[in-house]
Structure 1
Amino acid sequence: MNFPDLAPNLGTFAEITVIVVSFLAAGVTATFSIGGGLLLIGVMGVLAPVTAVVPVHGAIMMGGNAGRAFVFRRGLDLPIFGAVFAGALLGALIGGQIVTTLPAAALRLLIAGFILFSQWGPKLRLPFGRKSFFLAGTVSTILNLFVGASGPFITALLAAVPRYDRINLQATAAACMTVQHGLKIVVFGLAGFAFAPWLPLILLSIAAGFAGTLLGAKLLSRFDENQFRSALKWILTALAIYMILLVILKLF
């Protein structure tokens, strides 16, 4: 049986793999707030043309995060989301000018270092005001344009907000990442990337991701707050180590 082509130069096996991994990635993220973006971009980095990985991943993740924000919408922190949104607009403007001039390896190491410090370093009294999250939105959007998945950066920062429970974290992180990935689509579209040939794969992956989000939301309800926080800490740590290893392996 011949399947219709869903994307240019991928092949049926690769297309099905991306859709299945989109489901799994969304389920992981809806359960633990983190991890799905890096899982998906890791797989796409092997299967898809290098020039398509970041923009197509961004389109899939925008849809996936929008679905997660909808499912957990009762926990959305509008003031912090608004500050991140405003900062993201500035970040997209800056990042769109320099997106091809800075090494992704250095940025991956910066993200990894920040995550490890946030989870294992001394607990700092961070200024959790709108100005701080405006800056976070700017920085994380620039990072997102380079490394494709900056979710661990913004999630680690939001996880440190004292008043947040797991629902606040899920909703606010998802809304922030929806905006950042959406702006990334605009930047790459203006730079000339053709999204239209990839649209069938993107839409099917988003649909699979929403199904994964619904499953992940059910799994999340089985964790109490302490279990969730402990799991999040170790997953963030593993992702940081993974990002460091990616940089080291590319040196050899």
Structure 2
Amino acid sequence: MAELSLVSFLIITLISFLGAAITAAFSIGGGLLLIGTMSALLPPLAVIPVHAVVMTGSNASRSALLLPHVAWPIIGWFALGALVGGTIGAQVLVTLPPEMLRLAVAGFILFTQWGPKVSLPLGAPFYSLAGGLSMFLTLFVGASGPFITAILAKIPSFSRLALISTAGACMTLQHGGKVAIFGLQGFDYGSWLPLMGAALAAGFAGTFLGTRLLKRFDEQFFRAALKWVLTALALWLIALAVGAMLSSE
């Protein structure tokens, strides 16, 4: 970790704590905050693999703390799709521009929140499709939590606890699969163990705090806040994509 200063190490650890707390409270936000910070402080090739390790731990701890609320049938279908999406994504990992994928995710999120009230075709095939698409996307853009959350938020029977816990389980599978894919492609995780260990510990502490805050929210407040958090994250994705495209010209 010779490429990382002590200040950068501490900043990433702090953001892991804050991001985990935000995600545990609203299901989204922390992953994008962390990957944005890592993109500014880590070597480019280390950003997505190291982020994947930290997010696997953060999401797993969130699901564990809310385990009784996880919708396991959805997880099974999601995992099946994620396996297919990860297999395809691993074959084209260096050929697709992440800017276009960010714009696609942002467009989907904004449509689900502000577009006409269209019923999504919820059910086993749709959950598998969502798993495949989100796994494919996360290999390129790092954090696809808003995409997953936007879908699960449309399930009428879901309470805020079911949404947060099930999204956490889906993203644990997703980020865990990403860790394996980058490992098979030769990424040296050993060089980043101190940072990953510190960020994982901070992430667990943040998740513990965030789940306590979540249980204090009422359902109406949570849904209203979630809509605006999703919207803000979609606009941030657009800004990141446009900024990257302009800087490459």
Q: Same fold (TM over 0.5)?
A: yes
1:39 to 13, 33, 37: 33
1:17 to 11, 14, 30: 11
What are the ranges of 5 or more consecutive residues in structure 2 without an aligned counterpart?
A: none
1:237 to 206, 223, 231: 231
2:176 is equivalent to residue 182 of structure 1: yes
Task: Please give the residue correspondences for 1:1-252 in structure 2 after superposition, counting only pairs within 5 Å.
Answer: 7-250=1-244, 251-252=246-247
What is the TM-score of this pair, normalised by structure 1?
Answer: 0.96
Aligned-residue offset at 1:128: 1.1
Residues 59-109 of structure 1, C-alpha deviations (whole Å, 9 max, x = no match) = 100010000010111110011010001111111100000011000000000
Cα distance between partner residues in 1 of 2:158 and 2:152: 8
Residues 152-197 of structure 1, C-alpha deviations (whole Å, 9 max, x = no match) = 0011000111100101001110000000001101111111110011
Cα distance between partner residues in 1 of 2:42 and 2:159: 37
Residues 92-136 of structure 1, C-alpha deviations (whole Å, 9 max, x = no match) = 100000011000000000000000000001121222111100010
CA root-mean-square deviation:
0.8
User: How many residue pairs are counted as aligned between the two chains?
Assistant: 246
SS in 1 for 2:143: coil
Cα distance between partner residues in 2 of 1:218 and 1:176: 21
Question: What is the letter of the counterpart of residue 178 of structure 2?
Answer: K
What are the ranges of 5 or more consecutive residues in structure 1 without an aligned counterpart?
A: 1-6
Spell out structure 1 runs of 4+ moving beyond 6 A.
none
Cα distance between partner residues in 2 of 1:228 and 1:140: 24
Cα distance between partner residues in 1 of 2:116 and 2:130: 20
Residues 2-24 of structure 1, C-alpha deviations (whole Å, 9 max, x = no match) = xxxxx341010001111110000
What is the TM-score of this pair, normalised by structure 2?
Answer: 0.97
Question: What is the letter of the counterpart of residue 121 of structure 1?
Answer: G
Cα distance between partner residues in 2 of 1:210 and 1:94: 31
Cα distance between partner residues in 2 of 1:100 and 1:8: 26
Question: What is the letter of the counterpart of residue 55 of structure 1?
Answer: P
- 1:121–1:72: structure 2 CA closer, same or farther, 3 Å change rule? same
Contact 1:65 1:174 in 2 (8 A): yes
Question: What is the letter of the counterpart of residue 242 of structure 1?
Answer: W
Cα distance between partner residues in 1 of 2:171 and 2:198: 20
Cα distance between partner residues in 1 of 2:221 and 2:234: 20
SS in 1 for 2:150: helix
SS in 2 for 1:249: helix
What is the identity percentage for the equivalent residue pairs of Structure 1 and Structure 2? 53
SS in 2 for 1:29: helix
Residues 198-243 of structure 1, C-alpha deviations (whole Å, 9 max, x = no match) = 1121121111101001111111122100000000000000000001
